[in-house]
């Protein structure tokens, strides 16, 4: 086995100092274009790769971000995680992805492992966080940003869509369409996204003198959503909602399948269905789901900007609560109020 090529060998071949080689392979370091070209040419010729771990031990910065996600079933998360990873890599950071369950206890165990990797920062995507682990991260100097979750923990930045406003928009649209028996299929009750969407939905209904006609829980899982749809719609016509808001698209697509293919009801003639997220299948002709769009690009940009600010300016960066407004994307799964036209994807 050949010996590993060293930075000194690269420096000698390129005719530069060893420190110049180090600067070329250090993100953000200052180096002339001519020097960089010579060093990279020599490195390629010798097969040199910088030792990232060794550099981290010297600098105290690993350039690694821990990205924790609870589940990937929902189409929204693979796309959002790809955007997060790409954006962080553009800033010279590497991403380690950790899977965790919904329980705060499990997150604490995962966070122990993440901190062992000496990460520079952590993004929690749709998973809860205990105040104890938040304190430990703060003591370790590791900033944390919550993505698509909001928690009232001091010193923690959160980035979400404006779920409360989204819930209100759905209610106002259904009321404008003349619906009288309006139902709601909730997500996991431990999620701030679920709570805020339902709160906004109920508030707008109440402001117009309406209440929920029917309520069930799908727990953000497709099979649970199917069961909720059967309970809600496999009843006598007078006991059936004429519209339903489903807390995310992942469940709404399953609900639509039950309504149409198991129960033989028409969408939107017999029942209107609205979701939340605007995942790619929502726009497929088979569904044409009216939904609230989560603006993933803006959410990712805010998340990365906030995290890097906390990493680079730990004393001055203030925690923030970011809620990004999402538009109602009108398709054909819900009755159109007068004057509205469906969006063309």
Distance set, CA 164 to CA 29, 53, 197, 201, 320 (Å): 43, 44, 5, 7, 18
Which of 122-126, 197-201, 207-211, 258-262 bottoms out in mean pLDDT, i.e. has the lowest? 122-126
Q: How many domains does the chain have?
A: 3
> Are residues 263 and 167 part of one domain?
yes
Query: Average pLDDT, whole number, for the chain?
Result: 90
pLDDT of 278 strictly over 90: yes
> Are residues 151 and 189 part of one domain?
no
What are 27's two structure tokens? Answer: 């993100």
Among residues 44, 63, 3, 52, the alpha carbon closest in space to that of 25 is found at 52
Residue 58 lies in a domain: no
Q: What is the largest CA-CA distance in the chain?
A: 85
> Are residues 26 and 149 part of one domain?
no
Per DSSP, 336 falls in state: P
pTM confidence score: 0.84
> Are residues 84 and 230 part of one domain?
no
Residue 82 has what pLDDT?
92
For 45, the domain range is 7-50
Which of 134-148, 182-196, 228-242 bottoms out in mean pLDDT, i.e. has the lowest? 134-148
The 10s digit of each residue's pLDDT in 109-155 is: 788 788 878 899 999 988 777 777 788 888 888 999 999 998 888 88
> Are residues 195 and 312 part of one domain?
no
> Are residues 206 and 153 part of one domain?
no
Residue 146 has what pLDDT?
93
pLDDT of 300 strictly over 90: yes
Q: Determine the average pLDDT of the residues in 95-104.
A: 75
Domain with residue 98: its CATH number is 3.40.50.2300
Given CA atoms 193, 330, 179, 168 in this order, what sign does their dihedral have? positive
> Are residues 167 and 263 part of one domain?
yes
> Are residues 209 and 102 part of one domain?
no
The 10s digit of each residue's pLDDT in 260-276 is: 999 999 999 999 999 99
**H helices, E strands: number in the chain:** 12, 12
> Are residues 114 and 207 part of one domain?
no
Which position has the token pair 């990712």? 300
The DSSP result for 126-195, as a single string, is S----HHHHHHHHHTT--EEEES-----TT-EEEEE-HHHHHHHHHHHHHHTT--SEEEEE--TT-HHHH
d(CA 326, CA 213): 26
Residue 39 has what pLDDT?
92
> Are residues 142 and 76 part of one domain?
yes
> Are residues 203 and 301 part of one domain?
no
The 10s digit of each residue's pLDDT in 301-336 is: 999 999 999 999 988 899 999 999 999 999 999 999
pLDDT of 182 strictly over 90: yes
d(CA 91, CA 301): 12
């Amino acid at each position: 086995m050949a010996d590993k090529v060293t930075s000194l060998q690269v420096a000698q071949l390129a005719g530069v100092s060893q420190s110049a080689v180090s600067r070329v392979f250090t993100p953000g370091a200052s180096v002339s274009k001519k020097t960089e070209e010579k060093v990279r040419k020599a490195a390629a010729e010798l097969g040199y790769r910088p030792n990232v771990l060794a550099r981290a031990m010297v600098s105290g910065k690993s350039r690694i971000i821990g990205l924790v996600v609870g589940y990937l079933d929902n189409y929204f998360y693979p796309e959002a995680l790809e955007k997060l990873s790409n954006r962080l890599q553009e800033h010279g950071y590497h991403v380690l992805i950790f899977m965790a369950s919904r329980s705060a206890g499990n997150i604490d165990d995962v966070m122990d492992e993440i901190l062992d990797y000496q990460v520079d920062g952590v993004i929690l995507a749709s998973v809860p966080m205990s105040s104890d682990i938040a304190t430990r991260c703060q003591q370790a100097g590791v900033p944390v940003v919550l993505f698509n979750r909001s928690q009232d923990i001091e010193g923690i930045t959160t980035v979400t869509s404006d779920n409360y406003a989204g819930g209100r928009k759905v209610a106002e649209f259904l009321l404008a369409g003349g619906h009288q028996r309006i139902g709601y299929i909730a997500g996991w009750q431990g999620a701030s996204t679920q709570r805020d969407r339902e709160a906004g939905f109920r508030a707008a209904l109440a402001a117009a003198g309406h209440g929920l006609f029917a309520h069930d829980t799908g727990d953000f899982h497709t099979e649970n959503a199917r069961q909720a749809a059967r309970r809600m719609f496999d009843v006598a016509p007078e006991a059936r909602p004429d519209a339903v808001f489903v807390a995310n698209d992942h469940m709404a697509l399953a609900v639509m399948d039950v309504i149409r293919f198991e129960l033989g009801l028409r969408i939107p003639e017999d029942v209107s269905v609205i979701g939340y997220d605007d995942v790619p299948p929502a726009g497929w002709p088979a569904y044409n789901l009216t939904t609230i769009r989560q603006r993933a690009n803006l959410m990712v940009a805010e998340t990365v900007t906030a995290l890097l600010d906390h990493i680079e300016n730990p004393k001055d960066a203030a925690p923030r609560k970011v809620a990004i407004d999402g538009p109602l994307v009108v398709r054909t799964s819900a009755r159109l109020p007068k004057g509205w036209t469906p969006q063309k994807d």
